[in-house]
Amino acid sequence: VALFSVGTLILKSPESGRAEHTKFIEGLVEVAPGPNVVADIVFSGYFDRSNLPWWLRIIDRFAPTPQGDHRNWPEIQAWAKSLVPKFESP
C-alpha cells in the first residue's frame, strides 16, 4: 500500500505537516496492522475559502489557511512513477 496525505499545514509549517502525517500513518498501522506500507508522503493541497460554510470562515479568520492551489503536480507525478517498481511482480 502507498499512502499520501494532502493539506495546507505543510505550507505553514513543513515540519509540523510531516509530523502530523507520520503520526497519522503510525496510528493507522497500529489500528490496522495488515497493510504493508511501501511508501508514504504528504503533499500540499488546494484551498478555496469561498466553499467554506459561514462558521468555518469565522474560524479561518483566526488561523488563516493559505488560499489557492498549492499542489505540485510534477512532484506528485514523480512520486507516483517511483511506486511502479515497488508494486511490480518479481
Tally of residues, the chain: 90
Let me know if residue 60 belongs to a domain. yes
Higher-scoring residue by pLDDT: 42, 13: 42
Cell triple for residue 68? 489557492
The tens digit of pLDDT for each residue in 46-71 reads 988 888 899 998 988 887 788 899 99
Residue 53 placed within a domain? yes
- The count of domains in the chain is 1
Q: Is residue 90 part of a domain?
A: no
Whole-number average pLDDT of the chain: 88
Q: Which pLDDT score is estimated for 16?
A: 86
Host domain of residue 51: 2-85
Q: 21 in a domain, yes or no?
A: yes
Q: Reduce the secondary structure of the chain to three states and give it as a string.
A: CEEEEEECHHHHCHHHHHHHHHHHHHHHHHHCCCCCCCEEEEEECEECHHHCCHHHHHHHHHCCCCCEECCCHHHHHHHHHHHHHHHCCC
